[in-house]
Amino acid sequence: MAAELGCEYITRSNNQHAKAGNLNHAIAQIEGELIVVFDADFIPTRNFLTRTVGFFQDSQVALIQTPQTFYNPDPIARNLGLENILTPDEEVFYRQIQPIRDGVGGVICAGTSFVVRRSALIETGCFVTESLSEDYFTGIRLAASGYRVLYLNEKLSAGLAAENISVQALQRTRWAQGTLQAFFVKTNPLTIPGLNLLQRLAHLEGLLHWFSSPARVGLLFMPLAYAFLGVIPVRATGAEVLYFFIPFYLVQITVFSWLNYRSRSAVLSDVYSLVLAFPLAVTVIKVMLNPFGKGFKVTPKGGVSDRFLFNWQLAFPLIAIFIATAFSLWMNLGTYLVMGTWRSDMPLSIAAQFKGIGLGWIWSAYNLLMLSIALLTLVDVPRTSPYEWYGLRRTVKIQVEDAVPIWGFTTAISETGVEVELAQAALLEINEVRMLPVQIDLVEEELIIQGQIVSTNSTGEFPVARILFDSLDLNQQRSLVELLYCRPGQWKSRCSPGEFQSLGLLFKILWKPRFFDRQHSVSIAVSSR
């Protein structure tokens, strides 16, 4: 295929240093001054080079990073049935954090969808090989050497997100390990010469971010202290909760929403952080004790499944803490009801316990809600095809042998087929030609593909036919991929639901989990993108 496309395929006899080793091996065999790096599952838009290369007119610019976005929903959104509602997991980082980092010269190289100057790489020692996160530390070394590492906030490529929750956990723990190795390598952004104070603070924030997982686990255990240890970590009456905690919480989520400009709600962020809190907390502890104990492992992608799968490995600690929290809620609530109303003449010890128990069962109830949602995200819904369907509207002419052409508009297109909304007059004709070979002409794209009508549906205002393509030649496949993935400006940012809407979504999911809807077990989701 490489020969047919006019490309050169470079390989080597070993896999030492994994991706960083592959890149360094290739750099020694090429001559181009600018190198574009994409992960194997990423596809750039046609204007990628037009939008990025111009920055290199400044000789001090060494690297331009663009956002990562994905053409399929992340597994948490998909398992909850909120594909077109929840924003992707990476949205906050690329929409909010990277632009701020760009302002202080602390942009993170994300390993894909970037352009780098070859001479700057060679001068600084090429890609860093001492860590799993070769991209992150290469960007740091370039910045420390006096070069500019910039961020262009335009979605100019899209890749394949993790397709199930276990793969996402593997990916995130690898990111955590690679980033936290910063404390043990020469390219430590806190100590490497050449960075200024603001740059070091920006990288310190990125390192400290991973320590939020052990803290999140600790907050799960906190309400258990009320029931099982007789310890009251936080003492507050109902009035004190009303006067102090509720205003604080409302201000917190308001500021969170304001700073993130609806790229992610605080309630939904808590779900995402809780799902992977235990594996990330374990990874953080392991890395700090043995930073290089686990080697590089590629994230598996492209899998399919025809059934619902529950991830017991990730679920076990959440189930254990759920049972303990439910039991503690029952104990705390019972104690609260037995003790009755707080009175000023109560002994100090009983009054202190009473003031804590009320907050304890409220805290436990909130944790149970979030744990319930987290456990639902661990039920991977079926993915019967490795290809996504996209809601594109294009004019179509369908030719069946020598019959009169049938016209319509596409409602969804994938790499394997197309759904077409037809004129009402064509209903009888299309039913008669089902399972016969047809020719599909995507008029605006000047693309003609052979296929077969496999199903029709006339329940709506207009009949809809699903057509699967026959084998595509290279030119047809290229044209189809350009249509689906390479249109400039096609990857848009979406807004996350507000806090109250997010809370309503959580209760809705609890009331009717996705695996109760049998339709999702056999159908392919159509993305609105």
Q: What is the pLDDT of residue 130?
A: 86
Where do we find the tokens 């890609």? 127
Where do we find the tokens 């189930």? 319
Structure tokens at 70: 């994905």
For residue 379, the surrounding DSSP H or E stretch is strand 379-380
Q: How far is CA 240 from CA 237, 309, 472, 512, in A?
A: 5, 44, 68, 35
3-class DSSP assignment, residue 193: coil
What does the alpha-carbon distance between residue 145 and residue 124 come to, in Å, rounded to a whole number? 7
Q: Where in the chain is the domain with CATH 2.40.10.220?
A: 389-485
Question: b/e per residue, 9-38, with b = 16+ CB within 10 A?
Answer: eeeeeeeebebbbbbbbebeeeeeeebbbe
Q: Which residues of the chain have pLDDT under 70?
A: 237-238, 294-306, 332-359, 424-435, 515-529
Q: Where in the chain is the domain with CATH 3.90.550.10?
A: 2-166+176-194
Regarding beta strands 389-390 and 526-527, do their DSSP bridges make them parallel or antiparallel, or are they unpaired?
A: parallel
Instruction: Give the rounded distance of the alpha carbon of 334 from its chain centre.
Output: 41
Are 298 and 174 spatial neighbours (Cβ–Cβ below 8 Å)?
Answer: no
Instruction: List the beta bridge partners of residue 396.
Output: 408, 442
DSSP letter string, 31-59? --SEEEE--TT-EE-TTHHHHHGGGGGST
pLDDT tens digits, one per residue of 307-318? 778 889 999 999
Q: What is the pLDDT of residue 238?
A: 65
Q: What is the pLDDT of residue 517?
A: 60
Q: How far is CA 450 from CA 400, 440, 441, in A?
A: 10, 6, 9
Whether the full predicted model's pTM is greater than 0.75, yes or no, is: yes
The CATH code that applies to domain 2-166+176-194 is 3.90.550.10
The CATH code that applies to domain 389-485 is 2.40.10.220
> Helix 266-275 to helix 348-377 angle, to the nearest 10 degrees?
80
Are 378 and 274 spatial neighbours (Cβ–Cβ below 8 Å)?
Answer: no
Residue 189, class by beta-carbon neighbours within 10 Å (0-12 exposed, 13-18 middle, 19+ buried)? buried
What does the CA dihedral 172, 174, 178, 181 come to, rounded to 10 degrees?
100
What does the alpha-carbon distance between residue 393 and residue 191 come to, in Å, rounded to a whole number? 54
Alpha helices per DSSP H over 290-423: 312-339, 348-377
Where do we find the tokens 């600690």? 317
Instruction: List the beta bridge partners of residue 494.
Output: none
Q: What is the pLDDT of residue 166?
A: 87
For residue 92, the surrounding DSSP H or E stretch is helix 91-92
Structure tokens at 442: 């995507």
Q: What is the pLDDT of residue 498?
A: 81
Q: Which residues touch 149 (CB under 8 Å, ≥6 apart)?
A: 62, 63, 65, 105, 107, 109, 139, 142, 143
Are 388 and 248 spatial neighbours (Cβ–Cβ below 8 Å)?
Answer: no
Angle subtended at Cα 493 by Cα 477 and Cα 62, rounded to the nearest 5 degrees: 80
Where do we find the tokens 């209760």? 507
Q: Phi first, then psi: what are they for 169, rounded to 5°?
A: -65, -45
What does the alpha-carbon distance between residue 504 and residue 514 come to, in Å, rounded to a whole number? 16
Q: Give Rg (Cα) of the chain.
A: 27
Residue 62 DSSP label: E
Q: Which residues touch 337 (CB under 8 Å, ≥6 apart)?
A: none
Residue 107 DSSP label: P
